Amino acid sequence: MYPSLLSYNTFRINATCRELHVYDSIDQLVSLLPQLVGQRWLHIGGGSNLLFVTPHFDGIVLHSHIRSIEVVERTSDSVLLRVGAGEDWDAFVAYCVEHGFYGLENLSFIPGQVGASAVQNVGAYGVEAGDHIEAVETIDTETGENRLFSHAECHYAYRSSIFKHEYQGRYVVTHVLYRLSLTFHPVLTHTAVVRILENSGLSPDTADAAALRHAVVEVRRAKLPDPHEVGSAGSFFMNPIVSETQAQQLLSTHPEMPHYPASNGVKVPAGWLIEQCGWKGRTLGRAGVHPMQALVLINLGQATGSEVVQLATAIQNDVKQRFDIALHPEVLYIH
């Protein structure tokens, strides 16, 4: 019988694979590498950013249980943490807040593992993981050797890194080195987070990191499904970045359109585009769009990966037809 991947993906797609190997050390990972030669293989973290499109992945799946949090260096104003790739991301953020290591509060309640944060460059509410990553430790799957990538070598950009593109499938992340501040500097660019703080009787200017983390968790809980109850991968599409010219053209006909400056143009919320096309709360087969957040596609119960793709494609087509904007999945399709 093939191993089930149901508990290894937050979309709760009941897919299988030929082999599943869970490892808890670098030595154990290296010992598995010879089995990968000439084979299809896939490394997954918490499975929160992928979609098994077909019911069976005819290959080998690796999953990290390397768990550790180590203080490597402490200066007068910062701390350098070496974190195992298999650590639960939100538990790591909670640990940092509890110990007075600041910078990741806005990334609370994001599902997945620490290793994936370095690959996907997860971000939320004005903060990206890559902003605080000093280096990434990896294993070269072709040679079995250790390789350390500096921050600059990771090529971090919006939801992107060298591990997601040029080196996809070449290196496996084993540890991530996070440089965090010993002084709390809140990032309060998201109005919903500020509103939660104010409704709790707190001044955003004086609220501590624990309060900010609580506010972020409340905002995410209010608009995102609980992954333990409803299958999803969180934000399904990346927020598109359009040219200044196209943004002005869209604003002339849709003056209410939310938009934010980006390094290479103007960012438009994908959720707003999807909602304008009437998809919020709609279903297609056993897949649907979350009624509280149009950016989130959900498994209504026993949906297949192909049903989710069918829904995503329909949404992409409608957004393209109405706004002439291409939506690109943040979720990785696994065939």
159 is catalytic: yes
Half-sphere exposure of 167 (CA within 13 A, CB side): 21
Pick the closest to residue 171 from 111, 129, 114, 115 (CA basis): 115
Whole-angstrom distance, CA of residue 160 vs CA of residue 113:
16
At residue 99, the 3 state secondary structure works out as helix
Q: Which of 105, 117, 159, 218 is catalytic?
A: 159
Q: Are 164 and 238 in contact (CB under 8 A)?
A: no
Question: Measuring CA to CA, how many Å separate 170 from each of 141, 157, 162?
Answer: 6, 19, 10
Whole-angstrom distance, CA of residue 23 vs CA of residue 66:
7
Q: Which of 64, 161, 235, 307 is catalytic?
A: 235
330 is catalytic: yes
Tokens describing residue 115: 């290793």
CB atoms within 10 A of CB 306: 17
Q: Which amino acid is at 53?
A: V
Whole-angstrom distance, CA of residue 35 vs CA of residue 41:
9
Question: Measuring CA to CA, how many Å separate 255 from each of 115, 238, 268, 321?
Answer: 40, 22, 13, 19
State the pairing for strand pair 41-44/56-64.
parallel
The DSSP H or E segment spanning 124 is strand 123-124
Tokens 């304008």, residue? 276
In sign, the C-alpha dihedral spanning 35, 36, 40, 44 is positive
Q: Which residues are catalytic?
A: 159, 235, 330
